[in-house]
Amino acid sequence: MQQFDTDVIRWLLAGDVAIRWQVLQDLLQRPTREVQKTRQQVGLEGWGARLLSLQAIDGTWGGGLYNPKWTSTTYTMLLLRDFGLLPKSREAHKACGILLAQGFRSDGGVNFGSDRSETCITGMILSIAAYFKHQDEHLDKIVNHLLGEQMSDGGWNCRRWRGATHSSMHTTISVLEGLRAYELMGGARAGKLRQAQARAREFLLRHRLFRSHRTGRVIRAEFGRMSFPPRWHYDILRALDYFHEVDAPRDPRLAESVEMIRRKRRADGRWVLENAHKGRTFFELERLGKPSRWNTLRALRVLRWWDADR
């Protein structure tokens, strides 16, 4: 087992239970029983319990399904997913039912406020519903829709219907997370799901996660800045965490991004919160520019995955 800085591990374990159980599982590789015992507390204490207490009687948050950002039902559920709230949560299933019932569109995708589905939103709602193992006939249709929307370069773009011919990093990572969650749920067409994800990973790899495949220039500076929660935004740590999650091959085209993450580590072994996406929140998880348990946890598990057997 890879050794980690004891002080950093203690600091991580002193954080919210949403951090703690993932440290036990992903960094310390503690027994499943110990991990699950800690994870069960996500809905009972700390950030998770605080969010659940803010759910309205109708099952929504923030007075809306997708807006306002970031207190709406969609973005609250994304946070609860990232916290690791147990899939059996009744509050989560109530919200999943509302999101699917009101968001499903006739073309097979999801949107709120428009009859035309939106691919980023569709990917996010799929990831939420599949993570919580919400049984709904709409899920298979949503997956079929997303598979049909995959572009020739391997990714997805929510502006395809407007004529976009090149995939979006933002849209692609959201759809990848949704398809992965559906695959883990035991969804149908496992072979097609894996093929679609492999094609999309190749799209990201051709861009070395943040560079133009034509000129080699950085696409957007913010792609290199680590944020949490990422909301709908793409960055290299979010992408690398997905590659780690699926245990993808250690492709050399990932090396530059991995080393960027490694270099961002401070002398005390921690990573800071480099970026925060503006918008309304229920409460602050971490402060911009300060040491971030979320970024430290995710960076360490990415490096652990990357450095394995090296």
Q: What is the pLDDT of residues 104-132, one digit of tens each?
A: 999 999 999 899 999 999 999 999 999 99
Contacts of 264 (CB under 8 A, 6+ apart): 226, 271, 272, 274, 299
pLDDT at residue 189, as a whole number: 84
Say yes or no to pLDDT of 188 above 60. yes
pLDDT at residue 2, as a whole number: 60
Tell me what the mean pLDDT of segment 198-213 comes to: 98
pLDDT band of 217, cuts 50, 70, 90 = very high
Say yes or no to pLDDT of 139 above 80. yes
Mean pLDDT of the chain: 97
pLDDT tens column, 264-282: 999 999 999 999 999 999 9
pLDDT tens column, 11-38: 999 999 999 999 999 999 999 999 999 9
Say yes or no to pLDDT of 100 above 50. yes
pLDDT band of 310, cuts 50, 70, 90 = low
Helix (H/G/I), strand (E/B), else coil: 156? strand
Q: Is the alpha carbon torsion for 205, 210, 214, 215 positive or negative?
A: negative
Where does 84-216 have alpha helices with state H? 90-103, 119-131, 138-149, 169-185, 190-206
> Are 103 and 147 contacting, i.e. CB atoms less than 8 angstroms apart?
no
In whole angstroms, how far apart are CA 68 and each of 52, 73, 196?
A: 17, 9, 32
pLDDT band of 187, cuts 50, 70, 90 = confident
pLDDT at residue 309, as a whole number: 66
pLDDT band of 74, cuts 50, 70, 90 = very high
Tell me what the mean pLDDT of segment 46-50 comes to: 98
pLDDT at residue 190, as a whole number: 87
Tell me what the mean pLDDT of segment 76-81 comes to: 98
pLDDT at residue 1, as a whole number: 43
Which of 2-11, 35-44, 137-146, 176-185 has the lowest average pLDDT? 2-11
Q: CA nearest 164: which of 132, 198, 120?
A: 120
Say yes or no to pLDDT of 3 above 80. no
Tell me what the mean pLDDT of segment 45-61 comes to: 98
